[in-house]
Amino acid sequence: MQAKKRYFILLSAGTFVVLLFYLGGLQFRASRSQSRREAHSSRNGLQHSGGPEHYWPRFPDALRPFVPWEQLENEEYNMHTSPRQKRDANASVYKGKKCRMESCFDFALCKKNGFKVYVYPQQKGEKIAESYQNILAAIEGSRFYTSDPSQACLFVLSLDTLDRDQLSPQYVHNLRSKVQNLHLWNNGRNHLVFNLYSGTWPDYTEDVGFDIGQAMLAKASISTENFRPKFDVSIPLFSKDHPRTGGEKGFLRFNTIPPLRKYMLVFKGKRYLTGIGSDTRNALYHVHNGEDVVLLTTCKHGKDWQKHKDSRCDRDNAEYEK
H helix intervals, 57-205: 69-72, 75-79, 83-89, 101-104, 108-113, 130-140, 175-180
DSSP 97: T
- pLDDT, residue 242, reads 76
How far is Cα 189 from Cα 65, in angstroms, rounded to an integer? 25
- pLDDT, residue 62, reads 40
- What Rg, from alpha-carbon coordinates, does the chain have? 33
- pLDDT, residue 304, reads 83
- pLDDT, residue 264, reads 86
Which of 239, 186, 179 lies closest to 210, judged by CA? 179
- pLDDT, residue 101, reads 94
pLDDT in tens, the chain (322 residues): 566 556 666 666 666 655 555 555 555 555 555 555 555 545 544 444 444 444 434 434 443 333 333 443 444 434 444 555 545 544 555 668 889 999 999 999 999 889 999 999 998 889 899 999 999 999 999 999 999 999 999 999 999 999 999 989 999 999 999 999 999 999 999 999 999 999 887 777 888 999 999 999 999 988 888 899 999 999 988 877 777 666 666 665 666 666 677 888 999 998 888 877 788 888 898 999 999 999 999 999 878 888 888 999 999 999 999 8
- pLDDT, residue 94, reads 63
Q: Between the CA of residue 20 and those of 9, 11, 16, 25, 33, what are the distances in Å? A: 17, 14, 6, 9, 20
- pLDDT, residue 25, reads 56
Residue 172: phi, psi to the nearest 5?
Answer: -95, 120
Sequence letter at residue 228: R
Buried-state track 103-126, b at ≥16 Cβ within 10 A, e below 16: ebbeeebeeeeeebbbbbeeeeee
Instruction: Give the dihedral sign, CA 174/193/238/318.
Output: positive
Per DSSP, the residues of 233-294 read: EE-----TTS-SS--PPP---TT-SS-S-S-SEEEEEE--SSSTTHHHHTTGGGT--SSSEE
DSSP 145: E
- pLDDT, residue 261, reads 75
HEC string for 214-229? CCEEEECCCCCCCCCC
- pLDDT, residue 28, reads 54
